[in-house]
C-alpha cells in the first residue's frame, strides 16, 4: 500500500474504502513480509531475469489498519480487517451465486491467504 494513496484520502473525508490482497504468500520464512518469486512454483531467489517471474509481497493488514486509522482518525468499529471468506459470508446473495453444482464455493473455500481492509 502506497502511503501517498492513504494521504490522498484526506481529500475525501466521507470516503469508504475496500482493499483486498494476499496476507501471506508461500511458506513462512525467517523474515517478515519477504517477497516470494514464482513461475508456476516458488523460486529460491528474486534475482532472475526481468519479466521471467512474478514477485509477490504479502500485505501486513494489521499494520495497514493501524496506519489507516491514525491517518484518517477512524477507529473502533469503522475499520475492519477480515478474511475473504468471512467477508463473503456477510454477502450471502453474492456468495450463493458463486456456488457450483456440487456445492463447492470458490469465494468461500479458495484463497485462504486473502484478506480485506474495510474502512467505513
- Burial label, 61 (beta-carbon count in 10 A; 0-12, 13-18, 19+): buried
State the pTM of this model. Answer: 0.70
Specify whether the CB–CB gap between 33 and 58 falls below 8 A. yes
Question: At 14, is the pLDDT very low, low, confident or very high (cuts 50, 70, 90)?
Answer: confident
Q: Distance between CA atoms of 18 and 115, rounded to whole angstroms?
A: 10
**Coil/strand/helix, residue 97:** helix
46-95, pLDDT tens digit by residue?
787 777 777 778 899 999 999 888 888 887 779 999 999 898 888 887 88
Amino acid at each position: 500500500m502506497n502511503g501517498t494513496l492513504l494521504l490522498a484520502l484526506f481529500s475525501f473525508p466521507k470516503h469508504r474504502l475496500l482493499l483486498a490482497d494476499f496476507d501471506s504468500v508461500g511458506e513462512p520464512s525467517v523474515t517478515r513480509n519477504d517477497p516470494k518469486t514464482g513461475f508456476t512454483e516458488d523460486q529460491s531467489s528474486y534475482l532472475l531475469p526481468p519479466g521471467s517471474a512474478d514477485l509477490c509481497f504479502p500485505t501486513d493488514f494489521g499494520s495497514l489498519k493501524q496506519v489507516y486509522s491514525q491517518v484518517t482518525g477512524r477507529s473502533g468499529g469503522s475499520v475492519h480487517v477480515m478474511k475473504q471468506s468471512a467477508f463473503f459470508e456477510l454477502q450471502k446473495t453474492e456468495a450463493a451465486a458463486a456456488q457450483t453444482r456440487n456445492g463447492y464455493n470458490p469465494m468461500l473455500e479458495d484463497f485462504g491467504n486473502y484478506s480485506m481492509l474495510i474502512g467505513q
